[in-house]
Amino acid sequence: MSRRPLPVVDTEVEARLGEGWRTLPPEVVGVDVDRLITLRSPEDVAERRERLVQHLWKGAGLPTRRPELTRDVELADLEPLDAAGTDRLTLTMRHGVTATVYRVHPRHPVPGRFACFLAGHGNGRQPKYHQPQLQVMQTLLDRGYVVAGVDMPLQGWNAPFLEAPDGSRVEARSHEVFDGYETAGFSAATFFIEPVVALLNQAADEAPLSSVVTVGFSGGAWTTVLHAAVDPRVTLSVQVAGTWPFYLRPHPASHPNFGDWEQRRESMPELYAIAGYLDLYVLGAVGPGRRQLQVINRFDPSCFQGVGHRSYAQPVRDRAAALGGDWEVVDDPTHGLHQVSPYTVSLLAHELDQLHPAPPAV
């Protein structure tokens, strides 16, 4: 088996940023993380997951629908991949919100392996974001996974339109618009995770799922966390530079990490009353053969930077392990960018090779 790659600190970035980036922030003082994790038994896990599903889909349960599938399409964005072909999958949701996903096939498929890369806010095709996305997707393709590229609602490959309450068509790329759609009869959080659920439904029709991997970056990491919490078909989920528990959100004072609309407690108070971030982490990791990695870019200029994660890393890992799961924080100090780094790509490759070790050479 391959050795796990070790991160090497970018000392130039560290020297430029100073001591504050390697010490615990004041926001962690007096926080009892163990009490914030409210899942204490397998029964708690099952009950909480069910409550989340019923809240999100208002009693209808996890969706069983499939997207509309168009096989063998051409897409310049994904041409650099060494792949056997591309499909387009389209899902129309409530209020006219559509998701357009592209699914790429490996040259040497292994039946039952399916993966998603969930991009962050804005245009995921910008070179600084798109190149790492291609590297993640190729890493999965090389190991026999069918891989879907998924953008956030209203952004990227998705049309930036939805229906206003009066039936008119509204163009809105910011998720702040969803504030008017979160009601007692509908949760706007489903705009983010229902496309992934539908993709897994489609994949399961084509072959029984044996390994499901989701990798989310930035805003897409938030989707990865919530989806893995409610859909136990996910076996490995990797969230990169995308979430933090609420008690750390005011840090640092010069650039608080309150997040986009969907990340904030006040946007969806009923959702976060059922499960805060620490409980969502545990839910995403618990179950037979399930594992979740949270990659923190220590020197990220955009969000969730520093070493505040040390205040919850071990308690969450311990609680997940006690409940039959596997959860881990990975500190990535190898760069000073908001990105999926080369180190993280190499770590993903290692994780996949641990899941599916190559047969011994004859």
Other beta carbons within 10 angstroms of residue 265's beta carbon come to 15
State residue 89's pLDDT score. 98
State residue 360's pLDDT score. 59
Residue ranges of the domains in the chain? Answer: 11-355
SS3 74: coil
Inter-residue contact 214 to 196 (CB < 8 Å): yes
Whole-Å CA distances, 230 to 146, 213, 279 = 22, 15, 12
Helices (H), the chain: 11-17, 33-36, 42-56, 127-141, 190-206, 219-230, 269-274, 277-285, 313-322, 342-355
State residue 254's pLDDT score. 81
State residue 361's pLDDT score. 54
**Closest CA relative to residue 94, chosen from 115, 63, 136:** 63
State residue 251's pLDDT score. 92
State residue 95's pLDDT score. 95
State residue 255's pLDDT score. 85
CA atoms within 13 A on the CB side of 56: 24
Angle, CA of 333, 334 and 337, to the nearest 5°: 90
**Closest CA relative to residue 340, chosen from 272, 275, 290, 293:** 293
State residue 167's pLDDT score. 84
Strands 98-105 and 146-150: antiparallel
State residue 312's pLDDT score. 98
Inter-residue contact 286 to 45 (CB < 8 Å): yes
Spell out where 153-279 has E strands. 161-163, 169-171, 211-217, 236-240
287 sits in the region (left: phi over 0; alpha: psi -120 to 50; else beta) called: left
Query: What CATH homologous superfamily does 11-355 map to?
Result: Alpha/Beta hydrolase fold, catalytic domain (3.40.50.1820)
Q: What is the pLDDT along the chain (362 residues), one digit of tens a residue?
A: 578 999 999 999 999 998 888 899 999 999 999 999 999 999 999 999 999 999 999 999 999 999 999 999 999 999 999 999 999 999 999 999 999 999 999 999 999 999 999 999 987 787 778 999 999 999 999 999 999 999 999 999 999 999 987 889 999 989 999 998 999 999 999 999 999 999 999 999 999 999 999 999 999 999 999 999 999 999 999 999 999 999 999 998 888 999 999 999 999 999 999 999 999 999 999 999 999 999 999 999 999 999 999 999 999 999 999 999 999 999 999 999 999 999 999 999 999 999 998 765 54
State residue 359's pLDDT score. 61
Largest CA distance in the chain: 68
Query: What is residue 286's DSSP assignment?
Result: B
CA–CA dist 279, 274 (Å, integer): 9
pTM of the model as a whole: 0.97
